[in-house]
Every structure is written in structure tokens, then in C-alpha cells.
Structure 1
């Protein structure tokens, strides 16, 4: 008995130690952004101060600079709008495409799905020139619609491939039974397949929205005016002026922009993991 209790105690100690270490590592970036956002400039640059605590009274000067002297709130709105539109376009095209390929008989469904996914692996630098020509042809230069048109070319292939594996894990017999009960194929898709596939669809939503918020190269290239920028481009451009880094405002912008996504990940973590694992293992 004593040996069993000792092993259980050792296991619990190891378990909680690992959990504590990973919790600290994951939470530390947010703590660092939070404390830097409210530190005074003199406190930040004084090497004699402890960087992990407030050595002087907290200040709101960095938040005032961020809100009053930049278009940060406008950039947040642009990013949210572009993200929601790209998510809608991706779901509208990827979900029916993935379902059709998953139910395609023979080997062609899987082959076409892999071919679509391979387009996602093409380096963005190779697509830079043709996409710029398309943006110019559509007369979308220096508008937010330039990135809205470009980003689905990356999100749709990956989302289609991911959802294909998820739809394949759903037995076709369920749809056959629904159609026997009087539903059409489309009604069975909407009322049966979609609810079962919410985990995979949520994974696509999080992946797509995160990609838009982190996009830099195309937003930097296709958008030049400050009022049309997204957070990923506007913050580093207008808060890094030459060799002067506005660290407090930079950290405040990063914290505000990353918190909603972090909360979204944590709220739907189980569904997010299921979206990857169920779709990849049949």
C-alpha cells in the first residue's frame, strides 16, 4: 500500500509540476504585454529596475498614444471586417466543396482533395505577382477588399481538405436514413451533416480568422493608406519609427488584438482539437 501511495503521490507531483510549468510559459507573454503596457517610459528603459514588476506608478500614456495618435481602433475594425468576410467566403465555398468531394465515389475524391490542398502549400512569394495583377485588374489597390479577395485563395484549399476528412468520418448511412424519412439530399446536408460537423467548421472559422489577423505581406503590399490598414500591418509600421520603438504602445496593441483570439481558442478548445483529430483519423 505504501508503495502504491508513493507512486500516486509522485505521479500527481509530476502532473502538477508539468501543468504549472506550461501554464507559466503560456501565460508569461500576456503578463509581459500587460505590465509593459502600463509601465512608464523611464521604468522601461532603466536597466537597474526589475523588469517583471512596476518600479514606478503605472501610467496610461501608452494607451493614450495608441488610441489618440494612431488609427488603432480603425485597424481593429478593418481586421474584424476583413476576417468576418473572409470566414463567410471560405465557409460558403469550402463546406459544399468538401462535402461533395467526400461523397464522390472512387478514388477521385481523395485525389482531387489532395490536389486542392497542394495549392495551399505554394509559397506566397510565387503567387505575389499574379495576385497583384488580379488586384490591379479588379481596381482594388489600396482598399481593404484587396486582402479580402486574396486571403480566400489560401484559406479555401486548406479548409476544403480539412473538412473532407471530417465529412468522411460521418457514415453515409445516416444521410440515407434521413432521405428515407423524406428529406432531400440538401436538407439532410443542412439538418444532419452540418450539426454533426460543427467541430470541423469551428476549426475552419478559427483558422481563417487567425490567418487574417496575422496577415502581413499582402496587406503591406496591396494597402498603402493608414486608414485601410489591418492591425498586423498598422501596428508595426506606425509604432516603430526609424530606430524608435514605442514598446508600451506596441505591447498594448498586441495585448488588445490577441486577447479575443486567445479567449476564443480557450472557449472552444475541445471542439477545436476535435476538428483536427476527427478529420484526420478515420
Structure 2
């Protein structure tokens, strides 16, 4: 009898906790989740609709009423060099991200660990550089790109993207490096390591979340960048995905909405995969750097 009463109490307690969680956590968060996911849902629905339904003013835009079609994805693959654009975006984003993270580590380490006159001011100046709008920088950068002979090549993007990736990544890594106790590096140097070796073998393995956070940030900005890719690269086969989809699927006042949304859905896949795989590291690296 006592056991039955105890079991009943446990069940009632669990139900109360479940109801409390439902009304205090899940239901309040639900509107924000729906708001965040709605653009992805709308892109997917639009990309799977037929043209007849897309341009029917009486159809409801939020669901598919006349059947699913893959014709917009077929148009992307068969009638445009979409996968060349996809590969170009991937090459540029990965290369620019790798270069930017390496440069940011080399810049953030002395600013976070060494003490020299003007270190704090220099760190703030690095971050302020990130706040300069790219629309003000592409004119002088175009002169640099022409001088280097990199016009109309993917290298022009690889060279220019770090101008806005390195400052913020440096600021982010500075905050994260300061969360790692410097005593472990001092112990390594007492055991014979140089400062560079202590950074490479001690600090960087401990700062993996911060590095992944910086890499995700840099990759996202590189993948979505539009202005530099539009200005510095003219050949159709060398365009990145953001510029290629825009230039080929918007012709005057004609918008190929189905194919545009199909390109947006495919283009969002690498970003989604990256954040799903490294979300915990991203949150850890971002919050640790911000708190410090």
C-alpha cells in the first residue's frame, strides 16, 4: 500500500514537472523557434512548387496544394553552372577561413599574452577595423587587386576576404585566449619549450572551442559575401554561388522564384551542417570569449 502511494506521488510529481516545463520553457520558446525556422520553411516550400502554382495569385503561399516538383532544382543543374558556383564558393570560403584563422591566432596571441605599450589600444583598433563597412573598402581594394594582377580570379576573393574576417576573429580569440591560464604555458617554457612551441602545443589544444567558433564565423561570412564577389570576379564560370544565382536567375523584371529558392536551399546546407556538427564548440567559444 505504501509503495503504491509512493509511486503515485512520484508520477504526480513528474506530471507537474512536465506541465511546468511545458508552460515555462517550451511554449514561450515556440514562437521564437517558429520565427527562426519560417524563412527556411518558406524557401523549401517555394522551391518545390510548380510555376503555375507560384504565379497563381489565388494560391496560398505557405504550403503546396498542387503537388511537389523538382523542376527548379533540375533547371539549376542543367541550365546554369550552379555546381561550379557552389565549388567556387566552397574553395574561396575554406581557403579564406584557413588563412584568416591562422593570421588571427598569430595576432591574438601577443595581444592576449604579452604586455607591451599600446597593446590594449591596438586590440581595440583591430576590432574597430571590422566595423568599417565593406562598401567603403572595395574601391581601394580593387586597386590593390589590380596591382597584384588577381582581377577576375578566385584569388582576388581569397586575398580580400581576410580584410573583414581577421579583425573580428582576432578580437574573439583574444578574449578566449585570456580564459586559458597562462601558468600552463609558463610551466611548458620552464620545461624547455619556446613561446611559439608553448602556443602551438599547449594553448591551441586548450583553445579548440574558440578556434572552431572563429572558423565558423569566418566561413559563414565568406560563404554569404556578395559585394566583393560581384566586383572582383566577372567570368560566369568563376562566380561564387551568391552572385551566380543572382545574376542568372534575375533577368530584368523577371524573377525565377522557384529556382532562386532552390539555390538558397542548397546554399544553406553547408552552413547548417557546419553549425550542427560544431554547435557546442561554437556556443562555448563565443560565450567564453564574451564573458572574459
TM-score, length-normalised on structure 1? 0.93
Structure 2: segments with no counterpart, 5+ residues: 1-8
Task: Find the counterpart in structure 1 of residue 46 from structure 2.
Answer: 36
1:257 paired with 2:284, answer no
Unaligned runs of 5+ in 1: none
Deviation at 1:202, TM superposition (A): 0.7
User: Corresponding residue for 1:168?
Assistant: 178
The corresponding residue for 1:190 is 200
Is contact 1:200–1:274 with CA below 8 Å preserved after alignment? yes
Question: Could you tell me how far apart the structure 1 residues matched to 2:277 and 2:98 are?
Answer: 21
Question: Which among 43, 60, 70 is matched to residue 70 of structure 2?
Answer: 60
Shift of 1:57: 2.3
State how 1:55-94 maps to structure 2 within 5 Å.
Answer: 55-94=65-104
Counterpart among 100, 105, 122 of residue 115 in structure 2: 105
Contact kept? 2:48, 2:68, Cα under 8 Å: yes
Q: CA deviation at 1:53?
A: 2.5
Report the secondary structure of 1:268's partner residue.
helix
Bigger Cα displacement from structure 2, 243-252 vs 103-112: 103-112
1:106 CA drift (Å): 4.9
Q: Aligned residue pairs: how many?
A: 282
Residue 287 of structure 2 corresponds to residue 277 of structure 1: yes
Map Cα deviations across residues 88-144 of structure 1 (whole Å, 9 max, x no partner): 111221102111111111563222111111111122232222111101111111111
**Superposition pairs of residues 110-189 of structure 1, within 5 angstroms:** 110-189=120-199
Superposed CA deviations along residues 194-251 of structure 1, whole A, max 9, x for unmatched, are: 1111111111111111111111111111111111111111111111111111111111
Distance 1:8 1:247 in 2: 43
Q: What's the secondary structure of 2:234's corresponding residue?
A: coil
CA displacement at 1:74 relative to structure 2: 0.4
Distance, in Å, in 2 between the alignment partners of 1:39 and 1:130 is 44
Give the alignment's TM-score, normalised by structure 2: 0.90
Distance 1:77 1:98, change over 3 A: same
| Residue 220 (structure 2) aligned to one of 210, 221, 232 | 210
For residues 28 and 124 of structure 1, the distance between their equivalents in structure 2, rounded to whole angstroms, comes to 29
> What's the RMSD between the two structures over aligned residues?
2.2
- Judge conservation of contact 1:103–1:109 (CA < 8 Å) in 2: no
Q: Distance in 1 between matches of 2:70 and 2:16?
A: 51
CA separation of 1:8/1:65 partners in 2, compared to 1, >3 Å: closer, same or farther? Answer: closer
DSSP-derived class of the 2:60 partner: coil
Match of 1:16 in 2: 26
Q: In structure 2, how many angstroms separate the alpha carbons of the residues matched to 1:84 and 1:9?
A: 46
